[in-house]
Chains A and B, each alone.
Chain A
Amino acid sequence: MLVATAGLVWMIYLIKNSLGQTLDEPGKDIPAESGNLAPKPAWLRYHVRYYGYALLFLAFDMEMAYMYPWAVVYQEVGLLALLDMGVFLMILFLGLVYTWTQGGLNRQ
């Protein structure tokens, strides 16, 4: 599959190049800002306002890594598995509720 991707991409680029070069003109390489020049680079300290969610995502992602093997053996182990994982999920869920009430799940 990776080979197929590489092949596809290479072919597209090849065809593109055969169709001519880009003419270098002033203003062409400035990012489009609906009719204005945007000469300043946009690489700024961007205020990402959802960092509360990002933190919570980390915690849950770690949890999900443990859930996958659990899910596979769930039916074998039975009720015990449900209870065990239930406790784990409850703890994390409480974490979610805590963040919710503390205002972490908002636009900061």
Chain B
Amino acid sequence: MMKYGARKGKMNFFRRWMAKAASRELCIFPVPGSDVLRTYQSESLSGQARLTTNSREANVLLVVGDMSRAMAGQAAIVYAQMPRPRVLVMAGPEHLDPLPHPDVHVTLENDFLTTALPVIREYLSNHSWKDEAEAWRPETLVNKIEEAGQQQGHMHDHGGHDHGHEGHQHGGHEGHDHSAHQHEEHGHGHHTEHASHDHGHNHGGHDHGAHGHGGHDHGSGFMSMIAMTKDLPRSADGLPMEWSDVQFGPFHPGLPGGLCLSMKLDGDTVAEAEADQNLTGRNLLASIPDNPMALPEYLEAVNPMAPVTYRLLAQKALVNFSSEAGNSALTLPEAVLLEKERITSHLNWLAVLAVVLGSDWMRDQAIKHYHRFQNDTGSVPQLSGFIKRVKKMPYLKLKLSVASHGIGETEEHNQGVAGDTHVEHHYEHNADSHSDHCHEEGDEYKPHDHGKPGHEGHGRGSHGSHEQSHEGHEHHHEEHNHSDHQLKDHKQESHEHEHADHPHKEGDESKKHEHHGEHNHSHEMHQHAGHEHHEHVHHDHGSGDEKEQAIGPGLNQLLGDITGPVARAAGIEKDHRLEEAVYQQAGWTPVTATGNNAWSRLMVRLDEIEQSLRFIEKAGNDSGSESSQKINIPSIGMGNGIAHIESPRGKVTLKFHIHEGKLAHVHLASPSAALAGLVKPITEQQELADALTAVTSLDISPWEINP
């Protein structure tokens, strides 16, 4: 009991008092994530304990539900990093392999945390110091660390240095060599900072140069900067810098629980990011029950945050199979259930987004409403009020409209709006300054072509700090400026397609605007889109120019597989609910937006919540109950069942094959796999915070990726 969790020593009076006081302050680290934990709570943990996502601050590690071995291994790493005294609580599984035996074990049920908390407190106050405490040395962890330690030995071989002393090396080079080299282009900032330090000025204090690094003996003779940095990857502005490999792992506060992003960071910009698709694999589809009637229950476990959706989906497929028509539709009660789940799923997502945005109020309110709606005690006017306040939150729009990544820019006017926001906010506000310049179109245009390839190369559709497909007046000049001093090699990816469609029309800008306005207003539920568009208009007219969009061929492919709010936020109207009779009867149209950035995705989801609320109200007395359709599987039945449903994240398709009354083969296509593929283009060359926000705005559910 608490062998691996207690501090070593005897309990004396002072320590007992400390432990008791400390036990009142529980910091819980939820594994796999606070969003999963929320689905098992009926109200938020306001005063009793704190949820934290920093393993050094936590003293309780709470494992919720079963998880794959890989993920358990990472939970073990978190446990190893927690300072003692620490308590391991498992809700659900008795024992997960790399982790030690749990100190507290509860069954996974609703509100398990309230029953577990007193036990945890008791442990902490009485067993924080023990003589029998031992160091925890699990095999897997020790092996991993050794392996990693060996790899490190090979790491520092750039440019043929001999790096005697790993850690201080890089700092030492900078401090030491900067004073010696004359390479003007390289790292002016560093040069100045270190030079200023070396001369004893104290601007903002670069003391780290002073300490130990300056006095470091280089040892291998003088090497010019060019030779020293020749192997380093080059950043977008041409400076050779080292990239760090970092993971924004499964237990990150701002990402959905279980989603692991491995990134290469170039300073604080993301050079490459990828979502790990194999971490959460639980192999559910490999051990499906034989009895088809048990399928709905079983499929609920696919996504702990949208269980009802999967159950309805399985039921629908079974009804399809057993009925002659083979094409069932959702009944009104089922639709109401689906919409309720949509509301709660979006609220849960909103809480995660609020964490990555840094707004605690939004998070707390989203959690409060989530719990209320989960328990069916939700208040519609309060939720609507909350949504309105979120839409009007100061600075939120600016912050989120930044990253318009041009994925799936299928139509010009969509791009136009996206471009406006992107231009205006993400890159410099050079509108005003450039309008002061007298720029002639002619002589700027040619060198611009020349400069462009250099800047383009962030891959298709990703713009990062040099948005390319928004060919505004200002941006030509902007890039021209940059082309002066940054004509270095850049990644040579597909920039040609953007170039080709580079019409630089100035004339009929205003006409385009009207066209946009009309087109957008043709959709009913688009007040927000139109409104948003008008806001962009205002921004845009500040500079008086319009952005022309280059339509990249084949960009459609990237967004072609995507369904759900992400696609709808790009203007693509894909929604399976369009094909359901119940929705058509209620006069429902899908919510779309233009802009294709985090803000439009947020808007789409908020509007969908409102839409669902109205739908439920209209459905009236049907408070949402199970379908009463007959499902009849004869024991010698054979055939295929197929069904689609619009889950909160996109369209999910279920296909199964029944052979002799038993389930033989099940295939599930969920939207999250395609969304995970979007992570790479959406984060390229984005600053870290923007990249994380963009990934969270996709609402990937890692549980669905590989069930």
Q: Which residues of A contact B (CB under 8 A)?
A: 18-28, 30, 32-52, 54-55, 57-58, 61, 97, 100-103, 105-108
Residues of B within 8 A of A40 (CB): 148, 152, 155, 244-245
Q: Evaluate contact between A33 and B189: CB separation under 8 angstroms.
A: no
Q: Across the interface, do A33 and B249 meet the contact criterion of CB distance under 8 Å? A: yes
Can you list 13 A-B contacts with CB-CB less than 8 angstroms, sorted by A residue number?
A19-B7, A19-B9, A19-B15, A23-B84, A26-B145, A37-B77, A39-B148, A47-B266, A51-B193, A103-B428, A103-B481, A107-B465, A107-B687
> Are A27 and B167 in contact, with the CB atoms below 8 A?
no
B126 at the interface (CB under 8 A from A): no
Distance (Å) between the CB of B90 and the closest chain A CB? 16
Chain B residue nearest to A46 (CB atoms) is B267
**For the complex, what is the distance from the CA of A100 to the CA of B203, rounded to whole Å?**
22
Does A44 contact B189, Cβ atoms closer than 8 Å? no
Does A51 contact B189, Cβ atoms closer than 8 Å?
yes
Report B519-568 residues with CB < 8 Å from chain A CB: none
Are B148 and A32 touching (Cβ within 8 A)?
no
Closest CB-CB distance, B170 to chain A, in whole Å?
5
Q: Contact between B196 and A58 (Cβ–Cβ < 8 Å)?
A: yes
* Nearest CB on B from A22, distance (A): 8
Does B672 count as interface, using CB distance less than 8 angstroms? no
Cα–Cα distance between A83 and B98 once the two chains are bound (Å): 73
B169 at the A/B interface (Cβ < 8 Å)?
A: yes
Q: How far is the CA of A35 from the CA of B259 in the complex (A)?
A: 11
Q: Contact check, A25 vs B188: say whether CB atoms are below 8 A apart.
A: no
| Contact between A48 and B481, CB atoms less than 8 A apart | no
How many contacts between A and B, using CB within 8 angstroms? 171
B interface, how many residues as a size bin?
Answer: 35 or more
Enumerate chain B residues within 8 angstroms of A52, measured Cβ to Cβ.
189
A79 to B7 alpha-carbon distance, docked (Å)? 70
**Shortest CB distance B5–A (Å):** 10
Does B353 sit at the interface, judged by CB under 8 A? no
Q: Is B239 an interface residue, CB under 8 A from the partner?
A: yes
- Of all chain B residues, the one with the shortest Cβ separation from A45 is B242
B141's partner among A27, A44, A107, A108 (CB-CB below 8 A) is A27
Q: Across the interface, do A55 and B81 meet the contact criterion of CB distance under 8 Å? A: no
The listed residue (B7, B170, B190, B481) touching A44 by CB distance below 8 A is: B170
Contact assessment for A39 and B241 in the assembled complex, using a CB-CB cutoff below 8 Å: no
Q: Which of A22, A33, A42 interacts with B247 by CB under 8 Å?
A: A33
Instruction: List the B side residues contacting A46 at CB < 8 Å.
Output: 241-242, 267
Contacts of B240 in A (CB 8 A): 45
B586 at the interface (CB under 8 A from A): no
B434: nearest chain-A partner, CB-CB: A101
Cα distance A48–B582 when bound, in Å? 55
Residue from A20, A36, A45, A57 in contact with B232 in the complex, judged by beta carbons closer than 8 Å: A45
| Complexed CA–CA distance, A107 and B149 (Å) | 35
Interface of A is mostly: loop
Most chain A beta carbons < 10 A, residue from B7, B31, B245: B7
Contacts A27-B141, A34-B252; A103 near B267 (Cβ below 8 A): no
Whole-angstrom distance between the Cβ of B570 and the nearest chain A Cβ = 25
| B174–A45 touching, CB < 8 Å | yes
* Residues of B664-706 whose CB lies within 8 A of A: 687
Partner of A34, one of B171, B190, B237, B247: B247
CB distance from A28 to the nearest CB of B (A): 6
Bound complex: CA A97 to CA B434 (Å)? 12
- Residue numbers in A under 8 Å from B167 (CB-CB): 41, 43
Task: Decide if A61 touches B148 in the complex (CB within 8 Å).
Answer: no
Name the interface residues of B105-148: CB closer than 8 Å to any CB of A. Answer: 129, 133, 135-138, 141-142, 144-145, 148
The answer to whether A43 and B170 have CB atoms under 8 Å apart is: yes
Judging by beta carbons under 8 Å apart, are A51 and B192 in contact?
yes
Tell whether, in the assembled complex, residue A35 and residue B78 are in contact, meaning their CB atoms are under 8 Å apart: yes
Complex-state Cα separation, A108 to B78, whole angstroms: 35
* CB-based closest 4 A-B pairs: A51-B189, A47-B267, A27-B80, A39-B148
**Residues in A whose Cβ lies below 8 Å from that of B269:** 47, 49
User: Which chain A positions have C-beta within 8 A of B204?
Assistant: 54, 57
B592 at the interface (CB under 8 A from A): no
Query: For residues 15 through 52 of chain B, which have their beta carbon under 8 Å from a beta carbon of chain A?
Result: 15, 18, 31
A-chain residues with CB within 8 Å of residue B15 when the two chains form the complex: 19-20
Residue of B nearest to A102 (CB): B481
Provide the residues of chain B in CB contact with A23, threshold 8 Å.
Answer: 7-8, 84, 133, 135
- Tell me, rounded to whole Å, the shortest Cβ–Cβ distance linking A101 to chain B: 5
In the complex, which residue of chain A has the Cβ closest to the Cβ of B232? A45
Which residues of chain B are near A51, meaning CB under 8 Å? Answer: 187-190, 192-193
| In the bound complex, CA of A3 to CA of B168 (Å) | 32
- CA–CA, A101 and B78, complex, Å: 48
Please, which residues of chain B bring their CB within 8 A of the CB of A55?
188-189, 192
Nearest neighbor of A26 in chain B, beta-carbon distance: B142
A32–B55 CB distance below 8 A: yes
B192–A32 touching, CB < 8 Å:
no
Interface: B289 (CB within 8 A): no
Asked if B54 is an interface residue, CB under 8 A from chain A, the answer is yes
Query: What's the least CB distance linking B622 to chain A, in Å?
Result: 43
A50 in contact with B189 (CB, 8 Å): yes
Residue in contact with B482 in the complex, picked from A21, A42, A48, A103, CB distance below 8 Å: A103
Beyond the given A27-B77, A32-B55, please list 9 additional residue pairs across the A-B interface where CB-CB is below 8 A: A25-B135, A26-B137, A28-B81, A30-B81, A35-B251, A40-B245, A50-B189, A103-B428, A108-B237
The answer to whether A39 and B152 touch across the interface, beta carbons within 8 angstroms, is yes
B129 contacts A58, CB within 8 Å? Answer: no
Given contacts A39-B148, A103-B430, contact A58 B74 (CB under 8 A): no
Cβ contacts under 8 Å, A102 to chain B: 481
